[in-house]
């Protein structure tokens, strides 16, 4: 995913490549390359200093053919309608690859949450929800956390929506606190999906994940859980970096201790279980598996030629630039694309929505068992498609997704 610029065009490029291979009908092609609905709202709120500020918010429902729109809401100064639209499109393809009955959506507010008080953030969240209240709902559009939004913000969204409709509607949003309708296993779900797809890739490439070496970029939610669960199936995580620094230990890092250290210090820099490592050097290491789980555009043509890994599991969204991806694919590196590798998060959000609608909550073991089955199915669908179309896994994931949305679009027919 290109940062800034016209990232919707970047999405279209990926789409076009897959649609051509699929032989997509030109009419359906047109439909699937246009957002269904883009909403722009102004959110005036009174700041703590007594002044009124007006913030711009967006909610885009890119496609709702398969079900309610699904996708996070981000709070960031760089939010734009173009970015939100591209992210909503990516959610459409991710939900379709994961084979869950959701369309794609995304929202955002142009703001700098680091400069706002808790009261200001709550006021902004509630006003934004009030402005889009007719467009969202358990059957319409189900938001979730994204950059700079968390379970507290989801709780405010759920409460504001519920106040408007007059009853408690837990299924309007996912990523909620467990106490108010969140799902067990959601926090670990993205990392768990990364572990499952990596394990399946190793099986396919016929190398043993037990004893395989792993390097992880980023040690937040996705990076730390991926590292932990890969360790638990016998892999050896030998390097981790985050925004501040990194650690290397050829014998394997103690991930449980590293998680405790990161909780205390807000970074893994200075972790005593290994030698210091520069972020840039992570991509030069001789490892079997590389997990970029930090930011977009981290693997570029500058560092891709130094990568020695057999498998790259894209925990982050858009960590690999298109030219670097082509280079890696040409060299035979097995890149598990973001819309597959990190789809465990949205899949468990779907489980959260299902549990809320039933009013019946599953044990964590049940959540994990169902996630395992969904991820295995998605991995196999993408792998078989890549073999059938003789293409890379990213293009194959798009083919699977576009085909699913296109088939239902055709079956539903044109309403006019
Ligand atoms: P997070 O904020 O919990 O963690 C991000 C990590 O990246 C932190 O450890 C941070 O130190 C590190 N980082 C930041 N800048 C870095 C840099 N320049 N070099 C190295 N490390 C750096 O975020 P997260 O929830 O773990 O999300 C990570 C990525 O995964 C994002 O791209 C996100 O969109 C994607 N993702 C997350 C989920 C989810 O469920 N959390 C689901 C799908 C995709």
Domain limit, last residue, from 180, 210, 242: 180
Contact 111, 77 (CB under 8 A): yes
Identify whether 20 is part of a domain: no
Identify whether 22 is part of a domain: no
Q: Which of 83, 88, 154, 220 to mutate to test the pocket of ligand 1 (most atoms within 8 A of CB)?
A: 220
Cα of 220 from ligand 1 centre, angstroms: 6
Nearest CA to ligand 1 atom 29: 316
Nearest CA to ligand 1 atom 19: 243
State how beta strands 275-276 and 103-110 pair: unpaired
The pLDDT, as a whole number, for residue 195 is 98
Tell me, what CATH number does 238's domain have? Answer: 3.40.50.720
Cα of 1 from ligand 1 centre, angstroms: 14
In the chain, the percentage of residues whose pLDDT exceeds 70 is 99
For residue 55, the enclosing domain spans 33-180
Contact 58, 82 (CB under 8 A): no
The pLDDT, as a whole number, for residue 1 is 40
pLDDT tens for each residue of 28-79: 999 999 999 999 999 999 999 999 999 999 999 999 999 999 999 999 999 9
Tell me, what CATH number does 72's domain have? Answer: 3.40.50.10860
| pLDDT greater than 60 at residue 5 | no
pLDDT tens for each residue of 343-383: 999 999 999 999 999 999 999 999 999 999 999 999 999 99
300 with 403, same domain?
Answer: yes
The pLDDT, as a whole number, for residue 4 is 42
The pLDDT, as a whole number, for residue 218 is 97
Residue ranges lining ligand 1, Cβ < 6 Å: 190, 217-223, 241-243, 279, 293-295, 315-317, 342, 345
How is residue 320 annotated by DSSP? B
| pLDDT greater than 70 at residue 185 | yes
Identify whether 26 is part of a domain: no
Q: What is the mean pLDDT of residues 97-124?
A: 98
Cα of 331 from ligand 1 centre, angstroms: 27
Determine how many CB atoms are found less than 10 A away from the CB of residue 278.
11
pLDDT tens for each residue of 244-302: 999 999 999 999 999 999 999 999 999 999 999 999 899 999 999 999 999 889 999 99
Contact 309, 212 (CB under 8 A): no
Cα of 116 from ligand 1 centre, angstroms: 22
pLDDT tens for each residue of 198-245: 999 999 999 999 999 999 999 999 999 999 999 999 999 999 999 999
From first CA to last CA, the distance across the chain in angstroms is 35
What's the structural domain count of the chain? 2
Distance CA 111, CA 113 (A): 6
Q: What is the mean pLDDT of residues 297-308?
A: 96
Q: Which residues are catalytic?
A: 106
């Amino acid at each position: 995913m290109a940062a800034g610029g016209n990232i919707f065009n970047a999405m279209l490029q990926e789409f076009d490549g897959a649609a051509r291979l699929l032989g997509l009908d030109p009419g359906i092609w047109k439909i699937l390359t246009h957002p269904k609905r883009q909403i722009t709202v102004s959110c005036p709120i009174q700041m703590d200093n007594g002044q009124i500020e007006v913030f711009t918010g967006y909610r885009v429902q890119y496609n709702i053919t398969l079900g309610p729109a699904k996708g996070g809401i981000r709070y960031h100064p760089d939010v734009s309608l173009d970015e939100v639209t591209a992210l909503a499109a990516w959610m459409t393809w991710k939900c379709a690859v994961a084979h869950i009955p959701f369309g794609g959506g995304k929202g955002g507010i142009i703001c700098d949450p680091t400069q706002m008080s808790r009261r200001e953030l709550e006021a902004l969240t509630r006003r934004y929800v009030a402005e889009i209240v007719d467009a969202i709902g358990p059957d319409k559009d189900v938001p979730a956390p994204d950059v700079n939004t968390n379970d507290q913000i989801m709780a405010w969204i759920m409460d504001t929506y519920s106040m408007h409709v007059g009853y408690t509607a837990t299924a309007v949003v996912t990523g909620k606190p467990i106490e108010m309708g969140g799902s067990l296993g959601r926090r670990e779900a993205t990392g768990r999906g990364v572990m499952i797809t990596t394990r399946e890739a190793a099986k396919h490439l016929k190398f043993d994940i037990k004893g395989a070496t792993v390097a992880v970029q980023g040690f937040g939610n996705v990076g730390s859980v991926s590292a932990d669960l890969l360790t638990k199936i016998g892999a050896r995580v030998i390097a981790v970096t985050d925004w501040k620094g990194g650690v290397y230990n050829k014998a394997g890092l103690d991930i449980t201790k590293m998680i405790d250290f990161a909780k205390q210090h807000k970074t893994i820099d200075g972790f005593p279980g290994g030698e210091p490592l520069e972020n840039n050097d992570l991509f030069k290491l001789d490892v079997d598996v590389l997990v970029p789980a930090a930011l977009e555009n981290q693997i570029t043509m500058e560092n891709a030629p130094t990568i020695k890994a057999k498998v790259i599991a894209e925990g982050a969204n858009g960590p690999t630039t298109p030219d670097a991806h082509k280079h890696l694919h040409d060299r035979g590196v097995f890149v598990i694309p973001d819309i597959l590798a990190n789809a465990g998060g949205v899949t468990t959000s779907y489980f959260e929505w299902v549990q809320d609608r039933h009013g019946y909550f599953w044990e964590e073991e049940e959540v994990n068992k169902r996630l395992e089955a969904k991820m295995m199915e998605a991995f196999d669908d993408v792998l078989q498609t890549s073999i059938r179309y003789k293409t890379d896994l990213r293009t194959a994931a798009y083919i699977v997704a576009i085909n699913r949305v296109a088939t239902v679009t055709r079956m539903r027919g044109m309403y006019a």
